[in-house]
Amino acid sequence: MTASTSDELVLPAETTGSGSVVALTGVSRWYGNVVAVNDVTLTVGPGVTGLLGPNGAGKTTLLHMMAGFLDPSQGTVLVGGRPSWRNPDVYATLGLVTERESVPSYLTGWQFVHASAKLHRLADPAAAARAALATVELGDAQHRRIATYSKGMRQRARVAAALVHEPAVLLLDEPFNGMDPRQRMHMMDLLHRMAGEGRTILFSSHILEEVEQLSGTVQVMVAGRLAASGDYRHIRRLMTNRPHVFAIQSSNDRRLASVLMTDESVSGVELGANGLQVRANDFGAFTRGIAKIARTEGIRLTGVTPSDEALENVFSYLVAQ
């Protein structure tokens, strides 16, 4: 693998073809009696793929197995056709950004990324480090110690170190955690660009919107299993059409209940001591319409809370489909 001398990463020959494919076949991983990943078979190719699932679904375990940091209890994990476990050579074409925010804070951004380039034995480590830092837009802060960086800057430094050798495959575990919206946008742009160069980008997330904005293809994990796989729009449609439950408090709950029952977006209303439980079968129409209905009827809304938005519920619904 060679380093580019410009400030833009150049796609090396290895990033095309099977070198960028991550293939898992019948992969399971258990810790004693606890099964973290259960019989997962999937293939991830060039482009951006989101690994979606609630906390504890086994996403990190799966990524660690792909990255050669965990041995599968069963099944095979291949990166570019080679097993990743106990095979350091695989890192010539693989980059990893772990979830844990671990950076040697005593180094400057430059020292950190440059050391990474040297450890990859690149032909021109300084040029590669410059290009990687420019790619994540850390050029201005590169000579400051990482200890002084914000969370987003540290994350970008980690990404720069992971892509300094222009890997064909880049794995990122919850890369947007703790980032502000601007940093998030920037990171999304970067991942898109890299995917456009033919690289395989796989990132994990427990936030649906992140995956929606970034990725056309998703792998959904629930409780260690691969629950859904494929085009994001299909999965989004399933999610949009599912019934939503809202808890509503108002100045006149009984009257609001009777009005809501006439609305087509509502499939059921229950009047309780703490307000209303409303089941809406059209999330968009209901949330757009509720304020208007209340205003027309002269009712003051004091609380509208989606009560089943916990990701576990969303994912459970997906699995049931």
Query: Which one, of 235, 228, 183, lies nearest residue 209 by Cα?
Result: 235
Residue 305 CB-density burial (10 A; 0-12 exposed, 13-18 middle, 19+ buried): exposed
Q: Which of 6, 7, 17, 71 binds other proteins (CB under 8 A)?
A: 71
Contact by Cβ (8 Å): 255, 297: yes
> From the list 59, 154, 184, 199, which residue makes contact with other proteins (rule: CB under 8 A)?
59
Using the rule CB under 8 A, is 32 a contact of other proteins? Answer: no
x/- letters, 115..144, toward other proteins (CB under 8 A): xx-xxxx-----------------------
137-176 residues in contact with other proteins (CB under 8 A) are 161-162, 173
The closest of 153, 202, 200, 212 to 173, measured between CA atoms, is 202
Among 88, 181, 272, 298, binds other proteins (CB under 8 A): 88
Can residue 108 be called a binding residue for other proteins (CB under 8 A)?
no
Choices 15-23, 108-116, 126-134, 249-257; region in contact with other proteins by CB under 8 A? 108-116
User: Position of tokens 């060039």?
Assistant: 46
- 96: closest CA among 25, 153, 40, 173? 173
Written as six digits, the tokens of 130 are 């410059």
Which of 75, 289 has the CB closer to other proteins? 75
Helix (H, G, I), strand (E, B) or coil at 264: coil
Interface with other proteins, residue 61, by CB under 8 A: yes
Position 315 contacts other proteins (CB under 8 A): no
User: Taking CB under 8 A as the rule, does residue 89 contact other proteins?
Assistant: yes
How far is Cα 15 from Cα 209, in angstroms, rounded to an integer?
Answer: 28
Please choose, out of 2-10, 66-74, 298-306, 307-315, the segment that lies near other proteins by the rule CB under 8 A.
66-74
Residue 133 CB-half CA count within 13 A: 24
Listing DSSP states for 168-219 in one string gives SEEEEESTTTT--HHHHHHHHHHHHHHHHTT-EEEEEES-HHHHHHH-SEEE
Q: Give the CA dihedral 288, 289, 294, 297, nearest 10 degrees.
A: 150
Question: What x-and-dash track marks residues 262-301 binding other proteins by CB under 8 A?
Answer: ----------------------------------------
- Name the minimum Å distance from CB 100 to other proteins: 4
Q: How far is the CB of 256 from other proteins (least distance, A)?
A: 40
> Contact region for other proteins (CB under 8 A) — 63-71, 192-200, 270-278, 282-290?
63-71
Q: Contacts with other proteins in 38-57 (CB under 8 A)? A: 55-57
Q: Measure the CA angle with vertex 120, ends 118 and 123; round to 5°.
A: 70
207 binds other proteins (CB under 8 A): no
Rg (CA), the chain: 23
The site for other proteins (CB under 8 A) is made up of 31, 36, 55-61, 64, 67, 69-71, 86, 88-92, 94-96, 98-100, 102-104, 106-107, 112, 115-116, 118-121, 161-162, 173
